[in-house]
Amino acid sequence: MKELVVVIAKALVDDPSQVEASEELEDDTTVIKLSVAKEDMGRIIGKEGRTAKAIRTLLNAVSTRSNTKVLLKIVE
């Protein structure tokens, strides 16, 4: 699922080389931490958080099929 987030993020940003994601397991939840260049934060979050919400919706759909919980955290 981390790869899905990276592919989506690289398609949205101006500097794809700065896209990094890490995957951690907390209790029964997988937490994906996404970091991008400071200039690209607005592109990842989107107006009123719509882009971030759309990415989270896609992750939720994928995680539901595999019976897991996934959270996306966007870090600076």
Kindly state the tokens that stand for 51.
């882009």
For the chain, first and last CA: distance in Å? Answer: 20
pLDDT higher than 90, residue 4: yes
The full set of domains in the chain, from first to last, is 2-75 (3.30.300.20)
pLDDT tens readout for residues 20-36 = 999 999 888 999 999 99
- Give pTM, 2 decimals: 0.88
**pLDDT tens by residue, 40-62:** 999 999 999 999 999 999 999 99
Confidence of residue 73 (pLDDT cuts 50, 70, 90): very high
pLDDT > 90? residue 76: no
Q: Rounded to whole angstroms, what are the CA distances from 27 to 18, 46, 58, 66? A: 29, 30, 22, 17
